[in-house]
């Protein structure tokens, strides 16, 4: 509370309390663009951040499915697409053995993706174990 300007309260006959302490300024609200837009247009319009995020997530899911199609049986569950950035596919491995297997076959994966039309020019991989439930993870 600001000691220089104490709040004052009053009540009317219906016992509705009024305060002179807080008076929001409507100046900024009047200056804002208040053209009504549908929530769909805000979320999925061509310039929306949500649409860009959904497109990126969809692309990563396609890469993940392609990775699972390519991977040998023992490594399918241990490799996952972490990100796709400027033509570089970032893959996380649960452990060192899965990472080593991926690194030995990295050129094969890159060729596999490119022959299927994926726009990937480089693969970056590292060990990033999945968090254990109940120990700070999700």
Residue 108: CATH number of its domain = 3.30.300.180
Is residue 5's pLDDT more than 70? no
Q: Residue 13: inside a domain, yes or no? A: no
When pLDDT is averaged across residues 9-17 and rounded to a whole number, the result is: 57
Q: Residue 69: inside a domain, yes or no? A: yes
Residues with Cβ < 8 Å from 59, sequence gap 6 or more?
84
Q: How many Å apart are CA 28 and CA 10, to the nearest integer?
A: 28
Q: List the one residue out of 41, 60, 66, 61 whose CA is nearest residue 51.
A: 41
Q: Residue 101: inside a domain, yes or no? A: yes
Let me know how long the chain is.
138
| Overall number of domains in the chain | 1
> How many other C-beta atoms are found inside a 10 Å radius of the C-beta of residue 47?
7
Q: What percent of the chain is modeled with pLDDT above 70?
A: 68
Q: How many Å apart are CA 78 and CA 91, to the nearest integer?
A: 10
- Parent domain of 114: 46-127
Q: Residue 28: inside a domain, yes or no? A: no
Higher pLDDT, 108 or 38: 108
pTM over 0.85? The answer is: no
pLDDT at site 41: 73
Cα of 54 vs its chain's centroid, Å: 9
């Amino acid at each position: 509370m600001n000691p220089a300007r104490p709040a004052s309260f009053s009540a009317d006959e219906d016992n509705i309390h009024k305060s002179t302490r807080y008076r929001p300024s409507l100046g900024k609200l009047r200056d804002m663009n208040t053209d009504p837009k549908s929530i769909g247009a805000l979320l999925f319009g061509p310039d929306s951040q949500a649409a860009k995020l959904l497109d990126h997530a969809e692309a990563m899911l396609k890469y993940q499915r392609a990775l699972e199609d390519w991977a040998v049986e023992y490594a399918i569950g241990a490799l996952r697409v972490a990100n796709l950035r400027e033509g570089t596919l970032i893959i996380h491995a649960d452990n060192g053995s899965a990472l080593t297997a991926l690194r030995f076959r990295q050129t094969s994966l890159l060729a596999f993706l490119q022959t299927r039309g994926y726009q990937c020019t480089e693969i970056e991989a590292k060990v990033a174990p999945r968090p254990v439930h109940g120990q700070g993870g999700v």
